Amino acid sequence: MIKIDLITGFLGSGKTTFIKKYAEYLISQGERICILENDYGAINIDMVLLNDLLGPNCELEMVVGGDGAAAHQRRFRTKLISMGMLGYTRVIIEPSGIYDMDEFFDTLCESPLDRWYEIGSIITIVDAHTDTGLSKKARYLLASESACAGKIVLSRIDSMENAFHAKDDIRSLTDNSSDYRHSPDTARHDAISATIEYLNSSLELFGCKRSFLLEKDIIAKSWDELTDRDFLAIKSAGYKHASIVKLPLTDGDDFQSLFYINFRTTETDLRQRISELLSDTSAGNIIRIKGFVALSESTGGVSLEYTLDETVSGVKSPGENRSISDIMKTGHFMEVNATKEGLNIRSTEKPSQEVLIIIGEKLDKNIISGYFPGAVTV
């Protein structure tokens, strides 16, 4: 039977980045895999981000939605049937960040899928910087996508550590005492503990009796430090049967994805627009902005400047200087991945889709559209 893994996680948690690393491990172990992007959005940027995995042992497929959960589930089932005879040893499913877990279990119980597939592992990606002020519906999604997980993998541990060191260096300039430094290990442990506590309290809020333990259920380390042993633990994590009081998400206006196609500007202007939009409360609760933007021709010679959050996310090393003209030698496009905690913009070759996606809760389309004049809105 074909093993099928589900990689869940709230909007912007880092599912796609994790899948790239997990898929690379599986391929290195001789697995023949398919990554199925199971999304409700009309445009799937994550497919573009995974393109470099394509090869003899890795294929990409996609199921799109937008016309109701029932229709989406039918297409999901049909896609799995068509994939069943293609010789994969493992299928990795990346659902939307707004996902009803019942769809996964119900679909795999249907014939003939129950004879072809078996659940491998359910892995939930949880941002180590999870906002503890989530709305009730957002908190429900966090709980429901985590309840059955075999493992919880925390994301952005590396940015947590680098941000601590940067703040520590600032304290050293303003504190004359010799004992200004605090243990980064202690700060890291406290932040991780707070995230796990919030996750467990979210489970309890919706009637789930499960509780996660750091040593048993959580992988909390920089993803660049994950070893084959870590990935083996993830691959064999399985899943748990856990019940949760269901909160129907019937209001389509609560969580949305807005698409802006063919928006062109300079890198400096793009940075400013995204930074202002993320802080504009009248636009709604923007959780993530991702996609690809073409640079306009007026960008030559404008130097790139990076914030602390961009530095710790790996865009560049301190002291490294690049100009837009340098970037334009390798491509006229920028890849954007932004949350309130950090803005990651990097040069890229021409993507197959030139689109920015705004993901969030109770978004005001009119206000957001004003930040991207001239773009085609979907």
Helices then strands, counting H and E runs in the chain, come out as 14, 14
Which has the minimum average pLDDT: 28-32, 226-230, 295-299?
295-299
**215 and 106 housed in the same domain:** yes
Nearest C-alpha neighbor of 360 from the set 137, 132, 35, 37: 137
Largest CA distance in the chain: 70
CA distance 342 to 357: 16
213-224 residue pLDDT tens = 998 999 999 999
CA distance 283 to 361: 10
pLDDT at 183 over 90: no
Is there a domain that residue 31 lies in?
A: yes
Which has the minimum average pLDDT: 176-185, 220-229, 280-289?
176-185
Arithmetic mean of pLDDT, 5-15: 87
Q: Who contacts 55 (Cβ-Cβ below 8 Å, separation ≥6)? A: 27
Is there a domain that residue 144 lies in?
A: yes
**320 and 358 housed in the same domain:** yes
pLDDT at 4 over 80: yes
Is there a domain that residue 244 lies in?
A: no
Task: Please report the DSSP string for 330-374 in residue order.
Answer: H-SEEEEEEETTEEEEEEESPPS--EEEEEEES--HHHHHTTSTT
234-256 residue pLDDT tens = 999 999 999 999 887 654 557 77
CA 223 from chain centre, in angstroms, equals: 13
Please tell me whether residue 60 adopts helix, strand or coil conformation. strand
Is there a domain that residue 286 lies in?
A: yes
Q: What is the CATH number of the domain that holds 329?
A: 3.30.1220
Q: Who contacts 8 (Cβ-Cβ below 8 Å, separation ≥6)? A: 15, 95, 99, 101, 122, 123, 124, 125, 145, 146, 149
CA distance 350 to 353: 8
Strand partners, 259: 357
Please identify, among 170, 204, 235, the residue that sits at the C-terminal boundary of a domain.
235
- Pairing type for strands 376-377 and 117-127 reads unpaired
**140 and 73 housed in the same domain:** yes
**Block residue for tokens 């996310």:** 313
Nearest C-alpha neighbor of 187 from the set 204, 212, 170, 162: 162
Please tell me whether residue 153 adopts helix, strand or coil conformation. strand
38-59 residue pLDDT tens = 765 555 556 666 878 888 999 9
**82 and 229 housed in the same domain:** yes
Arithmetic mean of pLDDT, 107-123: 95
**33 and 138 housed in the same domain:** yes
Please identify, among 176, 205, 235, the residue that sits at the C-terminal boundary of a domain.
235
Please tell me whether residue 264 adopts helix, strand or coil conformation. strand
**Block residue for tokens 């590396």:** 158
- Dihedral in degrees, nearest 10, Cα atoms 140, 62, 83, 236: -40
Structural domains in the chain (count) = 2
Which has the minimum average pLDDT: 93-102, 112-121, 257-266?
93-102
**228 and 371 housed in the same domain:** no
Q: What is the CATH number of the domain that holds 142?
A: 3.40.50.300
**262 and 120 housed in the same domain:** no
**85 and 142 housed in the same domain:** yes
Please tell me whether residue 33 adopts helix, strand or coil conformation. strand
Please identify, among 200, 235, 270, the residue that sits at the C-terminal boundary of a domain.
235
**Block residue for tokens 């961009």:** 310
**65 and 210 housed in the same domain:** yes
Is there a domain that residue 242 lies in?
A: no
Is there a domain that residue 120 lies in?
A: yes
**301 and 185 housed in the same domain:** no
**86 and 185 housed in the same domain:** yes
Indicate if the alpha-carbon torsion angle 16, 20, 26, 30 is positive or negative.
positive
268-287 residue pLDDT tens = 999 999 999 999 999 998 88
CA distance 64 to 236: 29
DSSP letter (8 states) at residue 161: H
pLDDT at 315 over 80: no
pLDDT band at 165 (very low <50, low <70, confident <90, very high): very low
Residue 204's φ and ψ, nearest 5 degrees, are -65, -35
Cβ proximity of 184 and 168 under 8 Å: yes
**169 and 263 housed in the same domain:** no
* Helix-, strand-, coil-residue percentages of the chain, each rounded to 5: 40, 25, 35
pLDDT at 305: 36
DSSP letter (8 states) at residue 110: S
Q: Which domain holds residue 289?
A: 255-377
Tokens read off for 58: 């890795």
pLDDT band at 88 (very low <50, low <70, confident <90, very high): very high
Cβ proximity of 83 and 34 under 8 Å: yes
CA 117 from chain centre, in angstroms, equals: 26
